[in-house]
Amino acid sequence: MNDKKQLLSAEQVDFLTEMMNIGAGNTATALTQVLQCPVDIVLPRVFVIADAQELSILTSPSLPVVCVRMNMVGDVSGGLFLIVPEEQKEDLIRLAEQAMTGTGQSWRAGITNSKADDLKLSVIAEIGNIVAGVYLTAVHDFCKLNIYHTVPTVATDMVQALLDESLVRLSRQVQHIIVIENEFMVEEKLIKTFLVMIPSVESVDILVNSIGQARIAMVKDGG
């Protein structure tokens, strides 16, 4: 791939977006259970960027974000992140608090004030776990790739600092980043999050070729 700007063709990005759309309903159902209130999802949008410096599409580089960090393992390896921008964080934490103090007794049992912050972050980690799991399952179903994610951890920092750490670990050669923008409608509040996939250098061709082959198969089948 000599031209990093052409990681995926426009048709492949459209196909990847359709894959994510199909999984969105399962995400809404699972989040409804976690947050204990109805959740609707606006159809996700997919961006492919060729340089980490373009991550300004997520949020202002100077603002802190909540980041659920995971790794991709299996046929495709790399970093996986759910980014919650600063302006959305408080809404999501409020919903987490509401879930903890609502009708769900399991959230309230044994909770002390000293554990409240950790529990709020654990709910955000579970949201990241759900979103990542649904989208990776969609990739598995369409592209026949076995991809899994590791146990999520939660951190707060500026987005560039959070992702730079992972880019160093994966290799500075990594430049191809897939961003899936998600918008959740919860209690008439629109909450925006971003799922960021950073495939390792050795995984890029595997992922791109599988997406291309899956799209060709769909076209042949008349999809």
Give per-residue pLDDT as tens, 43-61: 888 888 876 656 666 767 6
State the average pLDDT over residues 111-127: 70
Dihedral, CA atoms, 85, 86, 92, 97, nearest 10 degrees?
Answer: 150
What pLDDT does residue 167 have? 64
Dihedral, CA atoms, 146, 149, 150, 156, nearest 10 degrees?
Answer: 160
* More confidently predicted of 111 and 62: 62
3-class DSSP assignment, residue 39: strand
Flag the least confident range among 97-101, 105-109, 212-216. Answer: 105-109
Model confidence pLDDT, tens digit, residues 122-170:
778 888 898 899 889 988 988 999 999 999 998 888 877 777 766 666 6
Domain ranges of the chain: 4-220
Q: What is the pTM of this model?
A: 0.83
H helices present in the chain, as ranges: 10-35, 86-101, 105-108, 113-143, 159-170, 201-220
CATH no. of 4-220:
3.40.1550.10
Amino acid identity at 65? V
